[in-house]
Amino acid sequence: MVHEALIGLVFLPLLGACLAVLPGRFGTRLAIVVGLASLPFLLLPVTLSVLREGAWFYTLGGWSAPLGIRLYVDPLALLMLWMVALIGGLAAAHAWHDFRPGTAAGERFWPLWLLLTAAMNGLFLSADLFNLYVCLELVTLAAIPLIAMAGSATAVRAAMRYLLLALLASLAYLLGVALLYNSSGTLDLYLLPDALATAPAPVTAFALALIGTGLLLKGAVFPLHVWLPQAHASAPGPVSAVLSALVVKTAIYLLYRVGLWSLPAGLLADGAMLLFAVLGAGALIYGGVLALLQDRLKLVIAYSTVAQLGYLLLALPLASLAAWQALTYQMLSHGLAKAAMFLAAANILHAIGSDRLSDLERLDQRTPLSLFALAVAGVSIMGLPPSGGFLAKWLLLEAAWRGGQWGLLSVLILGSLLAAAYVFRVLAAALRREDPSEAEDAEGISAIGRRQATYAMLLALLALVTGFAAAPILELMATGIPPTWGAA
């Protein structure tokens, strides 16, 4: 049964997309149930099997590895799949109201959303470098129209810029894969380390540099982040949430896979990790400062993503169990918190018609639940307790301290102070009262608005809960530590 479940993770959303293309409201609804609501149930048996037996491969078509394509499920992949199921699911629930099945907008929206889900699931499972290229392209081509669907000129411009850079990134990745295939004779990620051992080192280095550049560009890692803020800020709310929480993570995830699973240990790996750490530090500081300077809520959140992605690279040189747990936990908690923030921001934008910080006054009266979700998620982003973000930061700090990385430690602290500054700047703007004597006006919020606020709040609460229920997740992650970092 567990194989069927694994296959279903990719194929149910894919078939759902087909179903949603067909006309009629019923098809789309069925597609959403089949393709999205099923995911947690499919993930349960897969998770259990990984807990019981550890990571495993599935060979597609029965054609074994260097020739065929394999799927690989391990704790890291599981974490990402759960994020797709939960964050994607709640964002989809939020989107349900703005893109109702049966309406023209819904008809355009859902097939793409389902394809995006299938592509991300496929990407997290695939063990084949070229198949990953196809998945990356599918993610890009499904995600970008969703941005442009916001309709504004800014959104269209941002989508175009994103598309061009994403295509460039894919090509860099593809060129690297082409070189690797020829020098190693395989496209399988997990056969690569052995195959590369005999390959000429300059070729490997050049190919990995190309792959790395492509992925850094797709992952919007400073200084290649230029496309991200506008794209994430101008997309429709649930799309922003998924872009920031999941889509950019696909590139970071691949970076981990290639860097930590396929890269032969040695000088090259050390140099790459150091470079990543420097870029991560740059992202953390630059993104934090820029977030502090924005005057629109969604841009603040988008720049915060630029900054927070820095954490995901910063700790790579530590190469310890604690660092691994910290990275994966940051992946999770940032995803939850950021999605909550974007959904909340979308609700606020919807309710008051603007997301300029100067227009946000008295939000606690006007959109209380969304503001609360924003605040709770903000706690996680700042890395203050009790939240998943805090635990991730704690683990990072502890790993940095044990590793004697004082520079890293100070960057981490500076980054979190910056995060506190920009989050509290938003909250202060939202609590402001222009005129203290102003009468209270509990502005009518529609039932839909309330429900949408609930989804944001649920995500924020999940971010909060991850501040307590960390032990099982971290234990699972410990069994999935990259081979170059230690024995599982």
Which residues, numbered 165-224, are part of the site for other proteins (CB under 8 A)? 167-168, 171, 174-175, 178-179, 181-187, 195, 200, 202-203, 206-207
C-alpha distance across the termini of the chain, in Å: 26
Nearer to other proteins, 162 or 256 (CB): 162
Residues 217-256: x/- map of binding to other proteins (CB under 8 A)? ---------xx-xx--------------------------
What minimum distance in Å lies between the beta carbon of 69 and other proteins? 5
Distances (CA, A) of 282 to 24, 148, 316, 372, 382: 49, 29, 14, 30, 17
Dihedral angle computed from the Cα positions of residues 382, 388, 390 and 391, in that order, rounded to the nearest 10 degrees: -160
DSSP labels for 241-258? HHIIIIIHHHHHHHHHII
Distances (CA, A) of 355 to 80, 167, 351, 448: 30, 31, 10, 19
Residues 408-447: x/- map of binding to other proteins (CB under 8 A)? -x---x--xx--x---x---x--xxx--x-x-x-x-----
Q: Please identify which residue in 327, 474, 476, 481 interacts with other proteins, judged by CB under 8 A.
A: 474
Give all strands (DSSP E) within 18-175, no chain letters. 56-59, 70-73
Nearer to other proteins, 116 or 255 (CB): 116
Q: Which listed range, 12-20, 42-50, 81-89, 479-487, lies at the site for other proteins (CB under 8 A)?
A: 12-20
What minimum distance in Å lies between the beta carbon of 399 and other proteins? 10
**Cα gap 330→215, rounded to integer Å:** 19
Pick out residues in 307-336 that bind other proteins (CB under 8 A): 325
**Cα gap 177→159, rounded to integer Å:** 26
Q: Which residue has the tokens 């499904």?
A: 142
Q: Please identify which residue in 144, 273, 351, 458 interacts with other proteins, judged by CB under 8 A.
A: 144
Q: Please identify which residue in 40, 89, 102, 145 interacts with other proteins, judged by CB under 8 A.
A: 145
What minimum distance in Å lies between the beta carbon of 292 and other proteins? 13
Q: Please identify which residue in 50, 90, 91, 142 interacts with other proteins, judged by CB under 8 A.
A: 142
Does 1 help bind other proteins (rule: CB under 8 A)?
no
Which residues make beta-bridge pairs with 126?
71
Nearer to other proteins, 53 or 435 (CB): 435
Which residues make beta-bridge pairs with 58?
71
Q: Which listed range, 32-40, 65-73, 311-319, 334-342, lies at the site for other proteins (CB under 8 A)?
A: 65-73
Instruction: Yes or no: say if 199 and 185 are a contact pair by the CB < 8 Å rule.
Output: no
Which residues make beta-bridge pairs with 356?
296
Distances (CA, A) of 18 to 81, 199, 247: 21, 42, 21
**Cα gap 352→370, rounded to integer Å:** 12
Q: Please identify which residue in 50, 85, 149, 196 interacts with other proteins, judged by CB under 8 A.
A: 149
**Cα gap 302→102, rounded to integer Å:** 31
Q: Which residue has the tokens 């959403």?
A: 32
Provide the CB-side half-sphere exposure for 191 (13 A, CA).
Answer: 21
Q: Which listed range, 29-37, 55-63, 87-95, 304-312, lies at the site for other proteins (CB under 8 A)?
A: 55-63
Nearer to other proteins, 10 or 91 (CB): 10
Nearer to other proteins, 141 or 268 (CB): 141
Q: Which of 478, 470, 392 is nearest to 51 (CA)?
A: 478
Q: Which residue has the tokens 């990385």?
A: 405
Q: Is 330 left (phi over 0), alpha (psi -120 to 50) or beta?
A: alpha
Which residues make beta-bridge pairs with 346?
none
Question: By rule CB under 8 A, what count of residues binds other proteins?
Answer: 118
Q: Please identify which residue in 120, 279, 377, 397 interacts with other proteins, judged by CB under 8 A.
A: 397
What minimum distance in Å lies between the beta carbon of 345 and other proteins? 18
Instruction: Yes or no: say if 149 and 108 are a contact pair by the CB < 8 Å rule.
Output: yes
What minimum distance in Å lies between the beta carbon of 153 and other proteins? 4
Instruction: Yes or no: say if 336 and 378 are a contact pair by the CB < 8 Å rule.
Output: no
Q: Output DSSP code: residue 71.
A: E
Does 158 help bind other proteins (rule: CB under 8 A)?
yes
Q: Please identify which residue in 153, 198, 353, 444 interacts with other proteins, judged by CB under 8 A.
A: 153
What minimum distance in Å lies between the beta carbon of 74 and other proteins? 19
Pick out residues in 80-119 that bind other proteins (CB under 8 A): 104, 108-109, 111-112, 115, 118-119
Does 122 help bind other proteins (rule: CB under 8 A)?
yes
**Cα gap 252→229, rounded to integer Å:** 17
What minimum distance in Å lies between the beta carbon of 141 and other proteins? 4
Q: Which listed range, 132-140, 247-255, 305-313, 349-357, lies at the site for other proteins (CB under 8 A)?
A: 132-140
Residues 452-471: x/- map of binding to other proteins (CB under 8 A)? ---------------xx-xx
Pick out residues in 334-393 that bind other proteins (CB under 8 A): 362, 364-365, 368, 372, 379, 384-386, 390-391
